[in-house]
Structure 1
Amino acid sequence: MKQNTTELWIRFADSLRRFIHSKVKNDVLTDDLLQETFIRIHSKIDTLQDDTRVQSWVYQIARNIIYDHFRKSNPESIAEMPEVEDAKHEQDEAMTNTVRDMVLLMEDLPEQDCQALCRVEFEGMSIREFAEKTGISYTAAKSRVARARNKLSDLLMNCCHYEFDRYGTVISYHPIKCCCCHQQ
């Protein structure tokens, strides 16, 4: 589904306003930065490659606008703004942990399923290429990859409790039982 700026405004304007205000603590500046955020969203919407990641894309643009504002207005004030870098660091750390957990849990999958996920998800091989390299039909390869994704999803859901926003994006997660994915 291709996104448009009006839909994104309806979906994110209020939460972005609160997010920006929490960083700049000024109503007029908040509105200016919100407007600038949506101008950039509008001009860059064609660069959005994955509609399922639209929320993180929108918030990253807002973070960049806030960061640019502080950098332009007073380069020393960036040091006073650790929450922008902290938010990026937390997002990067959560992504790193999730990928690490998935890789560890993949060891519990049957060899064929693990191989299918590794080739398609991590090595970037298309399903058609995977089918050719393994000597199976395209339909069989598609089924194998889908089955492997479902099995991995089940393993993750049995290991952790996930909290989702109303759009299905993971907000947070925590272990519900001891499993290998949370060992350091």
Structure 2
Amino acid sequence: MDINKIWDDFHQELKAFILNKTRNSADTDDILQEVFIKIMQNMNKVKHAKSLRHYLFGIVRNAITDYFRNKQYDQHNLEIPEKLTEEESESLNETIAECCIKPFINQLPENYKKALLSTEFENISQKDMANKLNISYSAAKSRVQRGKEKLKGLILQCCSLESDKYGNLSAKSKKNCNCA
């Protein structure tokens, strides 16, 4: 038996087994590569194994154990990144707002657009906005709330948010709106 035959006969089954344990396709490919390196290095033992399948799965189980052991070691030895300063955080938030949120706000009807720009970008309170527009405080609050709902609708209309079976979110653009 040669390595090509082993690959053809077993790589899909081994890959599925590894993926079931790691839940990460990139790590699965890395482990599978390590497994086949070990198989090539130990081809003499592989050829004399009583049950090739059991021998291969033994190599895979050991490789998976090493993977989790190393991953746990890596997680304990990660340097904790420094927190952003307040100034850096504000700058980042402003950049995100300018690039990602304002284009959507600008698509809103004028009254909602003004309400959101005033309260969210110009730091004008809803009470001050109500006085400035000569409307009740309750009406100002409602306008801001409706504006936020309409903004949410525009974003969701553009970007389809999906989650995998583990709850990880991924954004996929529905149309060419530069939101993903």
TM-score band (shorter)? Answer: 0.3 to 0.5
* Higher-helix-fraction structure: 1
Q: TM-score, normalised by structure 2?
A: 0.45
Q: TM-score, normalised by structure 1?
A: 0.44
Q: Which has the larger radius of gyration?
A: 2
